[in-house]
Amino acid sequence: MTVKRVDERKKELLKSLVEGAIMGLALFVMFGSMLYRKEITSILNIVLGPLASLAGNFLITVLILAVLTGIYTSVIQKYTTDWELMAKSKEFQKQLKELQKEYIAAKRENNRHRLKQIEKRRAEVMSEQARFSGELMRQQFKPMAYIIIVTIPIFFWMWEYAPSEVVLFPLIGAKNLSHTFIFRIPYWLLWYMICSFLLTVVIRKLLGIRSTM
């Protein structure tokens, strides 16, 4: 085994160890946040409390946090996702759709020989797809693990410190932040979801991030 190959294997092993540690930390943060929610949010309030006071309006605070979460989640996704693997997954899906169309056409024509060829090719594509499905799932979970570490504590802080006061929302008028909307969603959370979705779309376009779907 060459020195170059040994170095590559060491780098791959180190990368796997780091990724495993990050995922473990993400799980710890996720469950720890649930068990020690008040303690974690109290610590986070040392930073976010003054931000909320400076903003003067909790809607603005939520908007700022939506910008911050949108930026770091997009950056994390851009640099932790294996885009070649994602492209390969899309290519498999495209091939299966095309084979399905060909299968329907061959069945309509009652072309048994063509049907057998299509079934054989479809089985080959599905077999190839299954071979890297585990790696694909790991790649999809990896960005989530990094994102969880920061997002869940911030989310719990907003839940804990959202004031029960009436504020003026765009389009829907004056609403109490703690009152609930459809599916018992608090109005402050509805505001965060809208801001986060719209801002993340813009940030992803600016960073040139492709869809993973």
| Separation between Cα atoms, residue 174 and residue 13, nearest integer Å | 55
Residue 201: pLDDT band with limits 50, 70, 90: confident
| 142 Cβ neighbours under 8 A, 6+ residues apart | 19, 22, 23, 80, 81
* First CA to last CA distance, the chain: 39
What are the pLDDT digits (tens) for 101-135? 888 888 888 888 888 888 888 888 777 777 776 66
| Separation between Cα atoms, residue 128 and residue 132, nearest integer Å | 7
Q: Do residues 33 and 156 lie in contact, with contact meaning Cβ atoms separated by under 8 Å?
A: yes
Q: What percent of the chain has pLDDT over 70?
A: 77
What are the pLDDT digits (tens) for 155-181? 889 988 888 888 888 778 888 888 888
| Separation between Cα atoms, residue 143 and residue 74, nearest integer Å | 9
| 79 Cβ neighbours under 8 A, 6+ residues apart | none
Tokens 């085994």 found at: 1
Instruction: Break the chain into its structural domains and give their ranges.
Output: 3-83+143-207
Q: What pLDDT shows up at residue 212?
A: 53
Beta strands in 11-117 (DSSP E): none
